[in-house]
């Protein structure tokens, strides 16, 4: 599996979907639906709804996020929007404004 990389000088507007890991160092606007992980690097920015296996924020995300496995907002990360996930990690120093809904499966 290869990474799909949106470079720091690239802007994408629309729908991005696929099976590979998505690395965002530039700007993505619209909708992201990946079967693998999404990594938003600093200074990358996502102005979109994001659905992925895991979502890792080191840059900025504005929009609703659904991480099937987990969502992590790193110390240098900034997120504004609601999160739906089974596991979440918000590091000390991270910025988060929104609601978290945990998907908890009883077994």
pLDDT in tens, 7-56: 999 999 999 999 999 999 999 999 999 999 999 999 999 999 999 999 99
Q: What is the pLDDT of residue 103?
A: 77
Q: Do residues 12 and 25 lie in contact, with contact meaning Cβ atoms separated by under 8 Å?
A: no
Whether 64 has a pLDDT exceeding 50, the answer reads yes
| DSSP letter, residue 104 | -
- Cα(16)–Cα(33) distance, integer angstroms: 6
pLDDT in tens, 28-40: 999 999 999 999 9
Phi (first) and psi of residue 36, to 5 degrees = -110, -160
Whether 1 has a pLDDT exceeding 80, the answer reads no
Whether 2 has a pLDDT exceeding 50, the answer reads yes
The predicted model scores a pTM of 0.93
Confidence of residue 107 (pLDDT cuts 50, 70, 90): very low
């Amino acid at each position: 599996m290869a990474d799909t990389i949106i470079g720091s000088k690239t802007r994408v507007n629309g729908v991005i979907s696929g099976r590979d890991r998505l690395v965002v160092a530039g700007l993505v606007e619209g909708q992201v639906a990946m079967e693998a992980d999404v990594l938003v690097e600093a200074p990358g920015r996502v102005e979109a709804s994001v659905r992925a296996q895991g979502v890792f924020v080191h840059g900025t995300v504005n929009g609703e996020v659904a991480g099937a496995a987990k969502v992590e907002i790193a110390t240098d990360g900034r997120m504004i929007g609601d999160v739906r996930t089974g596991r979440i990690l918000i590091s000390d120093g991270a910025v988060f404004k929104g609601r978290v809904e945990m998907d908890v499966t009883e077994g």
